[in-house]
Amino acid sequence: MDWRNRASCIGLPSNLFFPGNGNNGSTDKQYWDTHLICRECPVNVECLQDSLNNDYEYGVYAVPERVRRRFKAKYPINLHKTLTETYKTIDIIAAEFDLKGKLVRKRCLRCNRRTKGYPNDNENWGGKSHICVSCHIEIQNNKQADKLLDREKPSKSMPEFDSHGQLVTKRCTKCWERKIANEFSRRPQGIGGKTSWCKACTRKNLEIWQEKQKKQV
């Protein structure tokens, strides 16, 4: 028996699974309604597999096209496991809608609060991010604070000099190990009058280059 004959969408209006094709456009509630149907469908994995194999661009096949594009980027994947995790995430969100079918509030997956403000995200279910505006602002502020802290920290590659201004140690920019000055070749233009790569890394790089030259010959 063809798996399509066991699908839960048999007999339902096709425009329900193609939100946005009508004059009124798509609503968040339309995506939610299809989720409730597809989640309980006995052949949702087969439906998703068929849509990925045939490269269906539009329509809801187990998941909306936004989510399906994300699946396709990671394909091949364990479809049953991925689909189960996706449905679980959408259930946790527990979305609420107004009379026009637009999203009113849902649960933020970061702070776990039910709130209204969510940034647009074309790659997520319903075209909205799963993280609220407040959390997005907090994340951005934390990133900016981390950048400021990084600027204030001394560079790990900063060389060390003695009281006479002679180089004592520096970090090799190839292996990233801090070594004494004698482990670096002389280079007047370099920091501390030494090369940026240590002697060991320079020698190893030269051996690799020589091997490539032999193979080409």
Domain residue extents for the chain? 3-133, 160-216
- Four-point Cα dihedral 162, 165, 168, 170, nearest 10: 130
Report pLDDT digits (tens) over 59-86: 888 888 878 887 877 777 788 888 888 8
pLDDT higher than threshold 50 for residue 23: no
Average pLDDT score, the chain: 80
| 127 close to 28: Cβ distance less than 8 angstroms | yes
Report pLDDT digits (tens) over 163-173: 877 888 988 88
Report pLDDT digits (tens) over 41-61: 999 999 988 888 888 888 888
List own/partner pairs for 131-135 with CB under 8 A and 24 or more apart.
Answer: 132/108, 134/108, 135/108, 135/110, 135/111
> Mean pLDDT across the stretch 5-18?
87
pLDDT higher than threshold 60 for residue 154: no
Q: How far apart are CA 33 and CA 101, in angstroms?
A: 10
* pLDDT band, residue 184 (cuts 50/70/90): very high
Q: Which of 14-23, 42-51, 79-88, 181-190 has the lowest mean pLDDT?
A: 14-23
Q: How far apart are CA 11 and CA 7, in angstroms?
A: 10
Q: How far apart are CA 108 and CA 124, in angstroms?
A: 13
Q: How far apart are CA 68 and CA 74, in angstroms?
A: 10
* pLDDT band, residue 200 (cuts 50/70/90): very high
Report pLDDT digits (tens) over 97-147: 888 777 788 888 888 888 888 888 766 666 678 888 888 888 887 777 666
Joined together, the tokens standing for residue 164 give 């006479």
Q: How far apart are CA 130 and CA 36, in angstroms?
A: 18
Joined together, the tokens standing for residue 163 give 């009281």
